[in-house]
């Protein structure tokens, strides 16, 4: 069944639910709470599940939204609908400030940071006079539509769930776009994203603010549903619960957020209301049960429940990509002219006392295939990283198309037209080959998150995907286009990386061991492709251990040994060079 | 501010800081050996203090029963995981460690409480009860996912924290408890009143740090832990059982937590949920130490204690806010100096 039909059925079910005669009003309250929690969990799905930023502090953003409207509607008597944009603005600004700090934290420091500001803000809410200190603010007016006050849980229900579906559709749209691809690339590390011109910090901040806005929206709705606020629901334990919902539903699954929020909210209600009736005790078991469930979930189903649920339904056939629409070439600022395309002059890299690259100089000409060879540890990959600015030079200079790029950042280098593949494959494993390759065309599009959410990016998106499909076809992987990249053989994954690099329409292609793991005929196909690219005017610099491949394909070879260039010349010359033979086979002296 | 207040605040800060130092060291230890960011460390503080407080009033603390339940659960996990590969000898050892030991402690506890309380016996018993929870907890919650990423382990830690917080409420109730000071004498040093309890805190902290240093430097288990911390795979290759290392690390962390609880329960009323905040302050110190450096962590902990003391004097309402907000610039600084192991190039 088509997911759109399923979504339609779900929306219809939600719409009909309050009309069921005899439904206890209490159920509607529960559904309201599920909707409110779903909004926050949905933000976390994008932030944590897709972007890889684990936040325990989302409840604080719910607090920003709730307190903003609480103060404005009670103290200043504003209309609740008028405070919606103000609540979102406050939350957004708070998220910008906290996010600017948070997204710069690395690894496990990031979630610890969210715990730190989560606790600080909770205490702050309880100390500020205008927010009513620990007692909070009561007497918040309910929402009203056309003069009809939505005081009944069954009435505000429709407002909450309308927002839930809007947020869900917006989130799905956002993920299925140029921005979404960049977001998914974040999990594979900063280097990958930067190599295709994405600013990882900016992208993380964007998704951080997006998640906070959904939390702020939930807070605004909460304030007018509950009609009173106090600091308790905005502390660190609720923050943990929101994360639990997202993990339970399935990280990265937008609609899984509703599943997770629903299960946790219902379970919490059962534990708070039903269990004490049975046991006669007043002890709170919910934290114990939640804690145990969270630990157990990580042990048995780390991917969450949604993928298991989704596998019960047949997957939708992916749409065929229309490859006829063309994508404009990347507009590049300056730097053409004649002379060598890439000039490496006395490049040096030291890690402490170790000289990994020792004053290496070489040029790559236009429309030339050149190889960088040498034994393991010779400094080949380090040289690649110096050219693409993943590492900073200790000394020397690098020029590309006449302009100095020694101090340029990775994004600028991608924009100038240097694309690369990686020695250790960097693909987003659970995302389709098509989407992985389309990431390479990131700089050739311009649609931002808002355009993605509103779907005004569709024409550009079709051009980007068409280009990706063309490059996949070109490298001979058309039949695998819609498979997850991780399901391909390692050699094929290397070829996917080449297709991705080609999507940038590069002038210089850097390939790190492209033939590793390929079978004989696949190597022949790769050699033919590279020869054709050269004929089209592209330059290729490759690191490769397969000497047969290198000797038959390249125009020139540079040999490195222990970081030092020991030879340079055409293949025939390198084959007989005594220094090269000594380096590879061991010297006789 | 006059000198007396200054000295008083410094003394107060140092006393608290010494406790944070202990917790910070335990956190560094656990992280280094198992890569677990041990959020529930603070719960052990509350458990330790409250267990001692209950023992001093002649009651059997719920943690003694809890230890038995944890032991049984850990036993079942072990048997389920190893199945038929479990030899009779191993089975006997598992029964001894996970069933007989907690039963014995429980029996002793029940016997002890019917006699007039002895502080020393209660101290030993509290540390034994709460310390035993550590390895059981490791077996149940962390060992099944020991190879997962730091992030997954952290989320598991948060789950453990929630569960232990709830169990604390069940076993100790919502009321706070306080215990008699171990050493009730005190003396004047210039304008300052030095209590025996604060001396006990300093002595215990220094003694534990020295003991830990000796353990790591001289004992074979200590060396195994250090090897595991430096390189898990390498440690495994030379025959060190990383699971054993994890178990020891958790036992030490839980025991250190319990001792910290003993040290503060005469000075502050402990509630079931007090531990979390105390533990997090140990975290602030551990993070300043980069989760690797023991000396830096200890010094930073004293700093945290002093900042907190001054914050509570000048802006008592904002004490927690100040301490935790300070963590953000520290985390930022640590992120800048931290080499990202997730990226291999």
pTM for this model (two decimals) = 0.90
Encode pLDDT of A411-450 as tens digits. Answer: 999 999 999 999 889 999 889 999 999 999 999 999 999 9
pLDDT for residue B341? 46
The answer, yes or no, to whether residue B151 has pLDDT greater than 50, is yes
Encode pLDDT of B14-57 as tens digits. Answer: 989 999 999 999 999 999 888 899 999 999 999 999 999 999 98
Q: Is B340 on the interface with A (CB under 8 A)?
A: yes
Provide the 3-class DSSP secondary structure of residue A348: strand
Encode pLDDT of B224-273 as tens digits. Answer: 888 888 888 888 898 888 888 899 999 999 999 999 999 988 888 899 88
The answer, yes or no, to whether residue A588 has pLDDT greater than 80, is no
> Helix H segments across A341-409?
380-387
Residue spans of the domains in chain A: they are: 29-306, 342-417+506-585
Mutate to test the interface with A, among B46, B175, B311, B324 (most CBs of A within 10 A): B324
| ipTM at complex level | 0.87
The answer to whether A29-306 and A342-417+506-585 have equal CATH topology is: no
Encode pLDDT of A316-370 as tens digits. Answer: 677 777 777 877 776 665 555 678 899 999 999 998 888 899 999 999 999 999 9
Tokens of B103: 């039963």
pLDDT for residue B342? 44
The partner residue sitting opposite A111, judged by closest CB among B144, B151, B334, is B151
Return d(Cα A233, Cα A354) in angstroms, integer: 54
How many residues comprise chain A? 589
Q: Write down the CATH number for the domain with range A29-306.
A: 1.10.3470
Encode pLDDT of A519-558 as tens digits. Answer: 998 899 999 999 999 998 899 999 998 888 999 999 999 9
Burial group, residue A21, by CB count within 10 angstroms (0-12, 13-18, 19+): exposed
The answer, yes or no, to whether residue A498 has pLDDT greater than 90, is yes
Within 8 A of B162 by CB-CB distance, chain A residues are: 237, 240, 287-288, 290-291, 294
Residue of A nearest to B173 (CA): A283
Within 8 A of B317 by CB-CB distance, chain A residues are: 127
Task: Estimate the crossing angle of helix B101-112 against helix B119-137, to 10 degrees.
Answer: 150
The answer, yes or no, to whether residue B344 has pLDDT greater than 70, is no
How many residues comprise chain B? 345
The answer, yes or no, to whether residue A282 has pLDDT greater than 80, is no
- Indicate the average pLDDT of chain A: 89
Within 8 A of A292 by CB-CB distance, chain B residues are: 159, 163
pLDDT for residue A587? 57
Within 8 A of A291 by CB-CB distance, chain B residues are: 159-166
Residues sharing a CB contact under 8 Å with residue B339, sequence separation 6 or more, in sequence order: none
pLDDT for residue B345? 33
The answer, yes or no, to whether residue B163 has pLDDT greater than 50, is yes
The answer, yes or no, to whether residue B198 has pLDDT greater than 80, is yes
Encode pLDDT of A298-320 as tens digits. Answer: 888 887 888 888 777 766 677 77
Question: Which whole number is the average pLDDT over A197-209?
Answer: 94
Name the DSSP class of A394. S
Cα A369 vs. chain centroid, distance in angstroms? 33
Q: Which CATH superfamily is domain A342-417+506-585 in?
A: P-loop containing nucleotide triphosphate hydrolases (3.40.50.300)
Return d(Cα B267, Cα B184) in angstroms, integer: 11
pLDDT for residue A337? 64
Q: Is B335 on the interface with A (CB under 8 A)?
A: yes
The partner residue sitting opposite B162, judged by closest CB among A109, A294, A390, is A294
- CA angle (A239, B38, A257) in 5-degree steps: 30
The count of other CB atoms within 10 Å of the CB of residue B120 is 8
Q: What is the percentage of chain A residues whose pLDDT exceeds 70? A: 96
Q: DSSP assignment of A407-433, as one string?
A: T--HHHHHHHTEEE--SS----TTSBH
Per 3-state DSSP, what percentage of chain B is helix, strand, and coil (rounded to 5)?
80, 5, 20
Q: Find the distance separating the first CA and the last CA of chain B, reported in whole Å.
A: 54
Name the DSSP class of A334. S
pLDDT for residue A331? 60
Return d(Cα A54, Cα B158) in angstroms, integer: 12
The answer, yes or no, to whether residue B204 has pLDDT greater than 80, is yes
In this structure, the strands spanning A369-373 and A539-543 are: parallel
The answer, yes or no, to whether residue A280 has pLDDT greater than 70, is no
pLDDT for residue A464? 93
The partner residue sitting opposite B154, judged by closest CB among A101, A108, A292, is A108
């Amino acid at each position: 069944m088509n997911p759109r039909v399923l979504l339609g059925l779900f929306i219809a079910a939600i719409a009909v639910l309050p009309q069921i005669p005899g439904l206890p009003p209490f159920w509607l309250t529960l559904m309201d709470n599920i909707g409110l929690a779903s909004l926050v969990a949905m933000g976390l799905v994008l932030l944590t599940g897709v972007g890889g930023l684990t936040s325990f502090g989302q409840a604080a953003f719910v607090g920003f939204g709730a307190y903003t409207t609480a103060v404005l509607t009670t103290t200043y008597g504003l209309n609740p609908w008028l405070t919606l944009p103000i609540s979102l603005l406050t939350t957004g600004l708070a998220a910008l400030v906290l996010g600017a700090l948070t997204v710069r934290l690395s690894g496990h420091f990031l979630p610890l940071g969210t715990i730190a500001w989560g606790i600080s803000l909770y205490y702050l809410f309880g100390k500020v006079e205008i927010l009513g200190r620990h007692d909070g603010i009561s007497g918040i007016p309910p929402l009203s539509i056309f003069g009809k006050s939505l005081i009944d849980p069954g009435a505000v229900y429709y407002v909450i769930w309308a927002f839930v579906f809007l947020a869900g559709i917006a989130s799905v749209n956002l993920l299925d776009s140029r921005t979404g691809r960049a977001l998914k690339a974040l999990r594979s590390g900063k280097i990958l994203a930067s190599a295709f011109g994405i600013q990882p910090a900016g992208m993380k901040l964007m998704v951080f603010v997006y998640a906070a806005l959904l939390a702020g929206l939930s807070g605004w709705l909460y304030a007018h549903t509950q009609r009173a606020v106090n600091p308790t629901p905005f502390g660190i334990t609720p923050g943990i619960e929101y994360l639990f919902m997202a993990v339970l539903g399935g990280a990265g699954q937008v609609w899984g957020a509703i599943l997770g929020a629903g299960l946790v909210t219902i379970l919490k209600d059962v534990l708070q209301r039903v269990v004490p009736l049975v046991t006669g005790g007043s002890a709170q078991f919910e934290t114990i049960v939640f804690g145990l469930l969270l630990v157990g979930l990580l042990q048995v189903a780390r991917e969450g429940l949604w993928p298991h649920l989704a596998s019960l339904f047949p997957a939708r056939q992916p749409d065929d990509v229309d490859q006829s629409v063309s994508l404009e070439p990347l507009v590049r600022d300056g730097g053409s002219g004649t002379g060598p395309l890439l000039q490496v002059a006395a490049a040096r890299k030291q890690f402490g006392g170790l000289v990994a690259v020792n004053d290496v100089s070489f040029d790559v000409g236009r429309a030339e295939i050149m190889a960088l060879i040498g034994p393991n540890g010779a400094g080949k990959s380090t040289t690649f990283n110096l050219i693409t600015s993943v590492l900073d030079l200790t000394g020397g200079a690098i020029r590309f198309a006449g302009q100095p790029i020694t101090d340029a950042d990775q994004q600028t280098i991608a924009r100038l037209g240097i694309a690369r593949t990686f020695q250790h494959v960097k693909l987003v494993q659970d995302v389709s080959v098509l989407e992985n390759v389309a990431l390479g065309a990131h700089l050739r599009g311009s649609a931002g998150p808002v355009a993605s959410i509103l779907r005004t990016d569709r024409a550009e998106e079709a051009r980007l995907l068409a280009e990706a499909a063309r490059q996949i076809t070109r490298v001979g992987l058309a039949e695998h286009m819609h498979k997850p990249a991780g399901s391909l053989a390692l050699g094929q994954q290397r070829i996917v990386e080449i297709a991705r690099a080609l999507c940038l329409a590069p002038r210089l292609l850097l390939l790190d061991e492209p033939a590793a793991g390929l079978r004989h005929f696949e190597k022949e196909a790769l050699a033919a492709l590279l020869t054709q690219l050269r004929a089209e005017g592209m330059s290729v610099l490759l690191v490769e251990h397969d000497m047969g491949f290198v000797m038959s394909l390249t125009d020139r070879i540079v040999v490195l040994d222990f970081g030092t260039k020991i030879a340079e010349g055409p293949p025939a010359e390198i084959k007989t060079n005594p220094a090269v033979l000594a380096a590879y086979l061991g010297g006789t002296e | 501010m006059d000198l007396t207040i200054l000295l008083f605040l410094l003394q107060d800060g140092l006393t608290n800081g010494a406790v944070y130092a202990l917790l910070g060291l335990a956190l560094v230890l656990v992280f280094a050996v198992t890569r677990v960011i041990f959020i529930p460390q603070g719960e052990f503080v509350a458990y330790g203090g409250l267990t001692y407080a209950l023992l001093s009033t002649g009651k059997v603390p719920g943690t003694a029963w809890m230890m038995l339940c944890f032991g049984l659960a850990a036993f079942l996990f072990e048997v389920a995981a190893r199945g038929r590969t479990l030899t009779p000898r191993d089975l006997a050892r598992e029964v001894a460690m996970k069933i007989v030991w907690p039963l014995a402690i429980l029996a002793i506890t029940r016997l002890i409480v019917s006699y007039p309380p002895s502080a020393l016996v209660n101290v030993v018993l509290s540390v034994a009860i709460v310390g035993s929870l550590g390895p059981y907890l490791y077996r149940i919650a962390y060992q099944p996912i020991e190879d997962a990423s730091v992030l997954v382990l952290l989320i598991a830690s948060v789950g453990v924290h929630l569960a232990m917080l709830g169990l604390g409420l069940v076993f100790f109730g919502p009321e706070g408890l306080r215990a008699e000071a171990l050493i009730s004498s005190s003396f004047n040093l210039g304008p300052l009143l030095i209590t025996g309890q604060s001396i006990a805190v300093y002595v215990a902290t220094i003694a534990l740090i020295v003991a830990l240093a000796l353990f790591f430097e001289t004992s074979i288990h200590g060396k195994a832990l250090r090897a595991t911390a430096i390189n898990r795979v390498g440690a495994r290759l030379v025959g060190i059982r990383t699971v054993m290392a994890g178990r020891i690390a958790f036992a030490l962390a839980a025991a250190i937590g319990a001792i910290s609880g003993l040290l503060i329960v005469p000075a502050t009323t402990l509630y079931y949920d007090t531990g979390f905040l105390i533990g997090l302050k140990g975290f602030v110190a551990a993070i300043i130490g980069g989760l690797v450096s023991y000396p830096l962590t200890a010094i930073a902990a004293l700093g945290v204690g002093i900042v907190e003391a001054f914050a509570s004097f000048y802006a008592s309402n904002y004490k927690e806010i100040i301490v935790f907000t300070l963590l953000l610039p520290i985390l930022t600084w640590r992120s800048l100096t931290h080499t990202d192991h997730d990226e291999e190039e």
